[in-house]
Structure 1
């Protein structure tokens, strides 16, 4: 699990977290930083690259309140490039679809790293 996460953290987060967030807190447009942190550490057993998860699943207002060294826009641009072929207007539904399609068919969006065998990986940063 750790090697997979280390090789492609963005696609790993996008594969693992959406269904875990829904299971833990029901489907929402955005999750609180506390909810994201809880699921992230439970599922991935680390906090390495948690800022990507916070940018993916929290509102910009909640993210900005954390005052991290990197911006919401920068992180989301990286997610868009890695998972959605550069398409910047993704939301939770997009991420949930990515997770489902990647787990079932090796990726449903152009430029993604895929998760075809149930484990996320490929691509690299």
Structure 2
């Protein structure tokens, strides 16, 4: 069950990155990698916040939860720092990637805990094409 949930989290993050890359292309080669948010940071943040949320859900009375969330914030912050030091992104790019990754990693698993029939998730898997579909009705 959690493998499918993790796949949904990553496919959602991949969709956001793909939308970003298609919508904000530029013809200038130098600036093409510095447009909008950092996918590396978003993916790292998604992974750490998702794992922290799953840990909290499975062991709600653990005294280690603050340390797990500290790890979830520090590791993507390090990725953010190194992406900026490498000259690949600006501060605003990594801040937005961090925020989107944290929201996706935490709240997608939270959505599955609620019994809401008005939200539906459907993976789309075809030859050389993987995507997700969210239906709100």
TM-score, structure 2 length as denominator?
0.30
Which structure has the highest helix share of the two?
2
TM-score, structure 1 length as denominator?
0.32
Which structure has the highest strand share of the two?
2
